[in-house]
Amino acid sequence: MNENSKKGFLYRMLCGAFLGISIVAPGISGSIMAVMMGIYDELINIISNPFKSLKKNIIYCIPLCMGAGLSILAFINLLKLLFSSFPTPAYLLFISLIAGSIPTVFKQARNGFKLKYIIGIAAALAFALTIGMLAKSDYILASDLTQAPDNIKIAFFSFSGAIAGMTSMIPGMSVSMMLMMLGVYEPLLNAASELTKLGNVPVNLLLVLPTGICFVIGMVLFSNLTKIVFRKFQSLAYFMVLGFMSGSLISIFPGLPNGFRDWLLSGAAICIGIGISYLFKRLGQKFNVKEDLIQ
């Protein structure tokens, strides 16, 4: 592995770490993170047809999976603490991170703006806002699963995983928001958090494992449709991504900071988020993440 390949490996591992965080962080879209980091198109191609150029695909995905796995293990408890103790700065960090990538997404719509794209943007914005409102409302499909029989519980968590997997392919849509709407986000987060401490392993695995497997299945099945849409309607698709992004940002906006400490931390969080977004843009261009698979 030459020097450029090593840097590309480390870059994709860093990308994987942020993708892992986006899975467990409330309201954050993993697909938008992938778009921001310049790896979305490549991931769609790999997920939709994983056995084509299998060796290259494995080499490409290994650092992503390593980064995602390590970040989930390392940050799941930290994120629970961060979002419970400092919710406004935490949300503003991710909002600024996503907002900083909007110019990059806009450039992907290569054929310019057409009037019909307004409908696409409006539809995507409305859909994202609807999902966000449902996630925050009392309308939750699985409001109480604690008393359900194990087979019903496992079946519903598996179904939720498949739906979340499909959602993960749509830039701007948050896996955690969908899981919240389905009522399984908190039980899954608690189960995963306990697993990191090796607590109640059999029971927690019965929730996490089938959900994860069905998540991957839903992601693979839906990726082909996503790939076709982005190939045939690229400009419209990316303008819709902007609509999804805008709706997602509005949905997770926590309100204005409260108190001097909150304002100070929020200001720092916004600066850090924009800085990270710019850093990913520069690193993605430098390491050419699509072409450094095998030298």
Average pLDDT of the residues in 60-87: 83
pLDDT bucket at 39, cuts 50 / 70 / 90: confident
Average pLDDT of the residues in 72-88: 79
As a whole number of angstroms, the distance between CA 241 and CA 105 comes to 8
Residue matched to tokens 């109640």: 200
pLDDT bucket at 98, cuts 50 / 70 / 90: confident
pTM score > 0.75 for this model?
no
Evaluate whether 201 touches 195 at the Cβ level (below 8 Å): yes
Residue matched to tokens 């480390």: 10
Residue type at position 142: A
pLDDT bucket at 105, cuts 50 / 70 / 90: confident
Q: Provide the token pair at 256.
A: 């204005």
Return the higher-pLDDT residue of 146 and 226: 226
**Nearest Cα to 207, choosing from 141, 159, 167, 140?**
159
Average pLDDT of the residues in 19-47: 79
Average pLDDT of the residues in 23-28: 70
Inform me whether the pLDDT recorded for 8 exceeds 60.
yes
Inform me whether the pLDDT recorded for 109 exceeds 60.
yes
Evaluate whether 241 touches 172 at the Cβ level (below 8 Å): yes
pLDDT bucket at 145, cuts 50 / 70 / 90: low
Task: Mean pLDDT check: name the lowest of 53-67, 113-127, 170-184, 235-249.
Answer: 170-184
Q: Supply the pLDDT for residue 292.
A: 41
Q: Provide the token pair at 46.
A: 């790999």
180-238 pLDDT, tens digit each = 767 777 788 778 878 877 777 887 888 889 998 999 899 888 888 888 887 888 788 88
Q: Supply the pLDDT for residue 2.
A: 59
As a whole number of angstroms, the distance between CA 165 and CA 32 comes to 14
Average pLDDT of the residues in 93-100: 80
Q: Considering the chain, what is the average pLDDT of its residues? A: 79
Q: Supply the pLDDT for residue 291.
A: 43
Residue type at position 156: F
258-287 pLDDT, tens digit each = 899 999 999 999 998 888 777 767 766 665
Evaluate whether 174 touches 248 at the Cβ level (below 8 Å): yes
Inform me whether the pLDDT recorded for 139 exceeds 70.
no
Domain residue extents for the chain: 3-287
Burial of 260 (0-12, 13-18, 19+ CB in 10 A): exposed
